[in-house]
Amino acid sequence: MEEIDKLIAEIVQQCAARGIAVPEVLAALVARTVIETANGAHSMPLFSLDAPLSSEGINKLIDVSVARLLADDSPPMETLRMQVAFDTTYVREEKELEVKASRRAARLKELQRAIVQLKPRDGADFEALTTMHRQIFTYLLKHAHEGSEADRTVEREVAAALESVFPRISLKAFITLTSEEKYAQLEELASIVFGIRLFNKHIGKGGNRVPDADADAAALLAELSAELLVEVEQTQIACRRYQDVIVLMYMHQPQGLTIEVVDRWKDELANRRQYLAYLQSVQEDVIISERKVRSVRERLARELSDLRQLVENKASVPKEHVYPKFDEVSTQWRALFRELQVLRSREAAYAVLRKYKASYTSTLVESMDVVRAAYEEQAPAESKDAPAIEAHSDSKSVGSGRGSSRGSNKPGSSAQQDDPRTAAVTAADVTPIASTDEMIDTAAARAKDKPVRLSIESTPEFMQLPLEFQGFCPWTIVNRRGLLLPGRPELGVQRWRNAHYVFAHKVAAEAFQKSPEALVHGVLERAMQSPELIHLLRLQDSFPNVSIMRMLRGDGLLADGGAGAAKGPAAVKCDAGTETPLHFADKNIDHSYSWNEWTLRRKALQIANLRKCATTAQQTDDSHFRRENTTQVWLPRLTGTQTMRSSGNNPPRQVRFTAEKDKKSARGLAV
């Protein structure tokens, strides 16, 4: 890893010593393209890729890289600079948005966790409840001032909204909830409180420090859309001018034009097409944001209008009616604010891109005779019923999805239907292509690994087919030294090995029918000689070690000091495809059916035998650990003990009897 850093640092240092500031990513990209050129061009073997790099090879690599980086007024070098600058800015802005969102979510989650983990003893624990209420207020403040700073006014607004939605008396019910319910209620509470502040801002009675995302997004959209529209139109005109002049040169070969001049025009055309591709990438993202912003603004305005009707001139409103509205207002505003952040990141990418609008001296000017001749050729050519090479607007040269600066071209798009004109790049007359019936059989072509022509009449979703090489004709790239001419889908789309190609004329289509692999390989060879075409034609999968995105992720330039590792790990690729039958046939197959009489008899006996079967069970050494046991015991019986005893005795009594007749005599008896 140290060798990698030293190699790149040496290239950057040598460029800085000569007054040119070079980013490390650009230095690494140029060094990798030098290695690819040495590997692909047999006439310039800088070093062997089968052995470790020697000190001489490293010095050559540094010298060639520095020479390319210091090339003065070089359209190919400016194209590479533009690719690195735009992709770096694009990735950096996306990363910053993700980091900001993740940091904010982490802060709010930490505050929520502190609130949930606070456990008051009961509803009378005044100190703990006060601490919890203070933490909830802090959480709402952090949740509220997204994109703004909190001050005393904001604190008063949040406190008033909190007291109306969640008074202190509600804390007693809050502490009885589960952790999941507490998290959900905190989220809902924050959304409702912020929705109240947004509504107060709407009616002019509060909402201090709340960013006006609605107006900001609308203004930024209008500004970006207008600038991009003008810039795209001007760049399309420039591309058409270059294309007309180059095609005229191949048609008439005017005197005074050398191969070097034409090659320079091709390089300038490639630079303009890359500039246009990036412009339209930003434009497509702005269009997507415009649709989202329009939809969110409509929903937000509708919810605010409903809220105003609910609460206007009323002393009190049931909370089950207004709380969902406040929650929805908050949700829609945050969606609008996220789109505003995305638009600002696209504005930053566009600002970087504008620096490369005129980064080199254009050698094709309006006053040249060849330009006037091209204009004169254009008018009569448009009136002829002959094969055409459409002027390319590249509106689909980039991905239609957000976050992608490059994508697949689509046949029949507006890019290929804008300003059609006739021209020729071959000496042979070009005649209309054969009809579908005259083409080779699709099944036979697939069996022989031959290209298959797809027409708009016989191919579902023809307009959505992804095109290789961004819709440029591979024949002109190979046979016209890197000339980028758009293909014509009306001539048919050629499918070969699950990839789709379009061509500028019939000669190119027939050449591809005969040897598709040679043409595709020729495009890769041309990309080795012109590295700026790798990203323009989306060939990063074929050149994984020259991918800017991989370098931005931190992949090394070299490994183990060897040139064999300089190519980096090969991309894992797999050719796969699926085909759907035209007509589905239902298969009514009973897999349990049996025609054998004895098999049916055996099954009947087995089913009948089930009536006599008894369910048994067994236990093994392993399974007895999994059994469910119950134990029954005799509980202690209820007994009692008496410790006091009542007892008594019967002593003798003295009884004296007296006789009536003889009262004087008396006897005592002991009883």
Q: Among 372, 426, 374, which residue's Cα sits nearest to residue 244?
A: 374
Q: Report the alpha-carbon distance of residue 425 to residue 262 in Å, rounded.
A: 14
Q: Report the alpha-carbon distance of residue 166 to residue 93 in Å, rounded.
A: 38
392 Cβ contact partners less than 8 Å away, ≥ 6 residues apart: 239, 240, 243, 273, 415, 416, 471, 472, 484, 485, 486
Q: Report the alpha-carbon distance of residue 531 to residue 85 in Å, rounded.
A: 16
Q: Report the alpha-carbon distance of residue 26 to residue 11 in Å, rounded.
A: 10
Contact (Cβ atoms closer than 8 angstroms) between residue 524 and residue 36: no
Using alpha carbons only, what angle is made at residue 633 by residues 628 and 634, rounded to the nearest 5 degrees? 160
Q: Among 644, 650, 652, which residue's Cα sits nearest to residue 669?
A: 652
231 Cβ contact partners less than 8 Å away, ≥ 6 residues apart: 279, 354, 357
Q: What is the dihedral of CA 378, 383, 388, 389, to 10 degrees?
A: 20
Tokens of 656: 């004296």
Q: Among 133, 185, 122, 186, which residue's Cα sits nearest to residue 163?
A: 133
Low-confidence ranges of the chain (pLDDT < 70): 1-4, 37-54, 123, 145-150, 254-256, 315, 366-367, 369, 371-372, 374-448, 553-575, 581-584, 617-619, 621-629, 660-671
Q: What is the chain's length?
A: 671
Backbone angles phi, psi at 72, to 5 degrees: -90, 130
Using N-to-C axis directions, what is the helix angle for 2-17 and 55-69, rounded to 10°? 40
Contact (Cβ atoms closer than 8 angstroms) between residue 143 and residue 108: yes
Backbone angles phi, psi at 467, to 5 degrees: -100, 140
Tokens of 559: 């490994």
| Amino acid in position 243 | Q
* Domain locations in the chain as residue ranges: 2-86, 120-202, 213-372, 387-539
485 Cβ contact partners less than 8 Å away, ≥ 6 residues apart: 243, 247, 389, 392, 425, 472, 473, 476, 504
Q: Estimate the share of the chain in helix, then strand, then coil, as percent rounded to the nearest 5.
A: 60, 5, 40
Q: Quick one: pLDDT at residue 349?
A: 92
Q: Report the alpha-carbon distance of residue 132 to residue 138 in Å, rounded.
A: 10
For β-strands 499-501 and 493-496, DSSP reports them as antiparallel
Q: Among 267, 403, 281, which residue's Cα sits nearest to residue 353?
A: 281
Number of neighbours of residue 182 by Cβ within 10 angstroms: 18
Q: Quick one: pLDDT at residue 383?
A: 38
Q: Report the alpha-carbon distance of residue 488 to residue 471 in Å, rounded.
A: 9
Q: Quick one: pLDDT at residue 627?
A: 59
The DSSP H or E segment spanning 494 is strand 493-496
Q: Quick one: pLDDT at residue 597?
A: 92
Number of neighbours of residue 639 by Cβ within 10 angstroms: 5
Q: Report the alpha-carbon distance of residue 272 to residue 362 in Å, rounded.
A: 11
Contact (Cβ atoms closer than 8 angstroms) between residue 467 and residue 493: yes
Backbone angles phi, psi at 414, to 5 degrees: -65, -20
Question: Which three-class secondary structure state does DSSP give residue 658?
Answer: strand
Q: According to DSSP H, which parts of 18-74 are helical?
A: 24-40, 55-69
pTM above 0.75, yes or no: no
